[in-house]
Amino acid sequence: MSLKPKTLSFGRLTNPYPNPNEIPKSQTVDLGNGSQIVYSPRFLSFEDSWKWFEYLNNEIPWTTPTLRVFGRSCLQVHKALPGSSFNSLLLNRYKSGNEYVGWHSDDEKLYGSTPEIATVSFGCDRDFLLKKKKHKNSSQERINDEEPVTKRLKKSSHVDQHSFNLKHGSLLVMKGYTQRDWLHSLPKRAKAEATRISLTFRHVL
């Protein structure tokens, strides 16, 4: 894919980390029971990410709700995730903070039992939330009646929800049993006025 954007509009946002030494490091969050999230806030450079944003925003024939493109995946995602074998790319565009994705998991059979799903984000920062699914009968979720309520509440608010602010040029990877055990969403944000584009790389069996 050649990157020949029609227009470039660098400087829409100020680079939050102009000094490369201050760029936050990647973090791995262990969600427990074999699920993990890896978040790299500055996966692509600030300038390259704007080139990608402009290219995607101007050149993709965006339709509602989504466009699925099968074939060779692009960018450097394969290099960053050795062993990955993505063969599907889903593109989403959120034109404002009013556009959102509700709670769901990408647990369709076609992705297998432990899919690795990698999301690269461009444009406006948006929050990405994760919450644990309620399994009525699993021993893991069974409420211990002996435990004081206050302890129970503390435990669940700490362990059962996570939030990531997905930055321009960031990479977030959901791994292991994240789709089986967790829901994710990209909620409405009144303050997010600008467009966000995300690319999600997946492996279809």
Residues engaged in binding ligand AKG (CB under 6 A): 90, 92, 101, 106, 119, 128, 184, 186, 198, 200
Q: 170 contacts which partner out of Fe ion, ligand AKG, none, CB within 5 to 8 A by kind?
A: none
In the DSSP assignment, the letter for residue 22 is: G
What is the Cα Rg of the chain in Å? 18
Q: Taking CB under 5 A as the rule, which mask of x and - marks residues 95-134 in contact with Fe ion?
A: -----------x----------------------------
Closest contact distance (angstroms) between CB of 123 and ligand AKG is: 11
Of 43, 46, 42, 45, give the one whose Cα is nearest residue 10.
46
Tell me how far, at minimum, the Cβ of 63 lies from Fe ion, in Å. Answer: 18
**Residue 44, binding choice from ligand AKG, Fe ion, none, Cβ under 5 to 8 Å by partner class:** none
Q: Determine the Cα angle at 63 with ends 70 and 44, to 5°.
A: 60
90 binds, among ligand AKG, Fe ion, none (CB under 5 to 8 A by kind): ligand AKG
Residue type, 94: Y
Q: Which is nearer to ligand AKG, 101 or 141 (CB)?
A: 101
Contact status, residue 205 vs residue 110, Cβ threshold 8 Å: yes
* CA-to-CA dists, residue 20 to 9, 26, 98, 121, 144, angstroms: 22, 14, 33, 19, 48
> Among 1, 173, 184, 164, which Cα is nearest to 83's?
173
Report the nearest approach of Fe ion to the CB of residue 57 (Å). Answer: 21
Considering beta carbons, is residue 15 or 88 the nearer one to Fe ion? 88
- Backbone angle region of 176, left / alpha / beta, with phi > 0 → left and psi within -120 to 50 → alpha: left
Task: Give dist(CA 173, CA 28) in Å, integer.
Answer: 9
198 contact choice in ligand AKG, Fe ion, none (CB below 5 to 8 Å, kind-dependent): ligand AKG
What is the closest distance, in whole angstroms, from the C-beta atom of residue 5 to Fe ion in the complex?
27
Nearer to Fe ion, 106 or 127 (CB): 106
Residue 119: which of 185, 169, 163, 171 has the closest Cα? 171
119 binds, among Fe ion, ligand AKG, none (CB under 5 to 8 A by kind): ligand AKG
Which residue, judged by CB position, is nearest to ligand AKG in the bound state? 198
Minimum distance of ligand AKG from residue 205's CB (angstroms): 17
What are the residues binding Fe ion (CB under 5 A)? 106
